[in-house]
């Protein structure tokens, strides 16, 4: 059977609209790397992305998910109770509850991408769950190959690309960066073969700069947002964009009431002032004043559990 061809004049004249799994952060059916040096919160970011997609809420309280969808996660390094604890903190920060989420965790003690039997079982699991996103954390625990050898790395990444195309899902692969690559471009700082950087459609890179955690986003077919400064909040335990809200809403951005309304629409339970502040990125004074006005207008209901949108 011959390969499909088109005359050059019949090729699309405009690129199709970029579809997002999470707006500006991860493309629909995109494969890519969540990379960074050790202890840079890569796993927290991967879990935040998973919760965002499963709940339809904003990743990092900022990047909106297109819709709630199923997620399949394999966390190779952390005990299951630690994974649950982290997920509970992130869902609390997003105003969701863990037991309502279509987020499925593979509990097998080992998963090897260089083992055909394990790959077959992963395929069967994907066919059963039908996730929109597969998260694998981290790559180093999923094989026994030489990560510096392109000939050994490429088949494993090709298998993940095959999963993406066959099952129409996105794949987020957590991978380490070199410890001595502080001055290199984020993608070039990834440990091992250059195949990793070449493979990704959407890539997220975390770096520490003194006490600050910087997030760089890179897309193959879309403009990347500017770098962001993140912090790990403790109550609840979750990553968030460092708090630096503008004094007034810049032209073209949503006003405070619109941000609050959107956050409450996306939430599956009432949100506290703390949670709303983290999601909406509004100063406490502005947030409380706006909430009081929305309650007085009957647009928002205040209860002992927090705030929710009026029917």
**Res. 183: pLDDT tops 70:** no
CATH number (3.10.20.30, 3.30.70.940, 1.10.10.10, 1.20.120.1770) of 256-309 reads 1.10.10.10
Signed CA dihedral, 225, 40, 64, 66: sign only = positive
Q: Which fold has domain 20-241?
A: Rossmann fold (3.40.50)
pLDDT band with cut points at 50, 70 and 90 for residue 17 = low
Tell me the C-alpha distance between 209 and 235, whole Å.
Answer: 23
- Measuring CA to CA, which residue among 131, 134, 133, 159 is closest to residue 145? 159
User: What b/e sequence results for 85-109 when a residue is b if at least 16 CB atoms lie within 10 Å of its CB, and e otherwise?
Assistant: ebbbbbbbbbbbebeebbbbebeee
Domain boundaries, the chain: 20-241, 256-309
Give the containing element (helix H, strand E) for 159.
helix 150-167
* 95, 57 Cβ separation under 8 angstroms: yes
Considering only the C-alpha atoms of the chain, give the largest distance between any 2 of them, rounded to a whole number of Å.
69
Tell me the C-alpha distance between 174 and 189, whole Å.
Answer: 14
pLDDT band with cut points at 50, 70 and 90 for residue 166 = very high
**Res. 253: pLDDT tops 50:** no
239 sits in the region (left: phi over 0; alpha: psi -120 to 50; else beta) called beta
CA angle 260, 26, 91 (to 5 degrees): 45
Query: What is the tens place of the pLDDT at every residue in 200-214?
Result: 999 999 998 777 799
Where is pLDDT greater, at 173 or 263?
173
Tell me the C-alpha distance between 63 and 307, whole Å.
Answer: 22
pLDDT value of residue 186? 65
**Res. 15: pLDDT tops 70:** no
pLDDT value of residue 256? 81
Is 75 strand, coil or helix? strand
Question: Among the listed ranges 81-95, 177-191, 282-296, which one has the minimum average pLDDT value?
Answer: 177-191
Q: Model's pTM, two decimal places?
A: 0.74
Query: What is the tens place of the pLDDT at every residue in 23-62?
Result: 999 999 999 999 998 889 999 999 999 999 999 999 998 9
Question: Among the listed ranges 183-197, 210-224, 251-265, 276-290, which one has the minimum average pLDDT value?
Answer: 251-265
**Res. 279: pLDDT tops 60:** yes
């Amino acid at each position: 059977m011959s390969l499909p061809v088109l005359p050059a004049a019949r090729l699309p004249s405009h690129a199709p609209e970029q579809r997002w799994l999470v707006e500006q952060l991860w493309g629909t059916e995109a494969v890519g790397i969540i990379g960074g040096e050790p202890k840079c919160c890569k796993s927290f970011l991967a879990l935040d992305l998973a919760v965002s997609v499963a709940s339809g809420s904003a990743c990092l309280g900022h990047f909106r998910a297109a819709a709630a969808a199923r997620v399949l996660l394999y966390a190779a390094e952390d005990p299951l109770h630690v994974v649950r604890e982290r997920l509970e903190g992130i869902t609390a920060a997003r105003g969701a509850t863990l037991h309502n989420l279509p987020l499925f965790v593979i509990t097998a003690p080992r998963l090897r991408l260089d083992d055909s039997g394990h790959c077959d079982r992963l395929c069967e699991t994907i066919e059963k769950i039908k996730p929109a996103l597969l998260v694998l954390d981290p790559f180093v625990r999923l094989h026994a190959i030489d990560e510096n050898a392109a000939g050994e790395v490429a088949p494993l990444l090709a298998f993940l690309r095959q999963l993406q195309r066959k099952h129409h899902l996105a794949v987020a692969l957590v991978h380490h960066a070199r410890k001595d690559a502080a001055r290199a471009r984020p993608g070039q700082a990834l440990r091992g073969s250059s195949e990793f950087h070449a493979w990704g459609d959407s890539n997220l890179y975390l770096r520490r700069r003194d006490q600050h955690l910087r997030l760089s986003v890179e897309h193959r077919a879309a403009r990347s947002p500017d770098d962001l400064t993140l912090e790990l909040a403790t109550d609840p335990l979750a990553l968030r964009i460092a708090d630096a809200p503008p004094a007034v809403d810049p032209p073209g951005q949503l006003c405070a009431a619109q941000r609050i309304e959107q956050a409450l629409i996306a939430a599956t339970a009432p949100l506290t002032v703390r949670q709303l502040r983290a999601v909406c990125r509004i100063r406490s004074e502005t947030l409380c004043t706006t909430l009081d006005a929305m309650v007085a207008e009957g647009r928002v209901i205040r209860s002992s559990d927090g705030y929710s949108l009026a029917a």
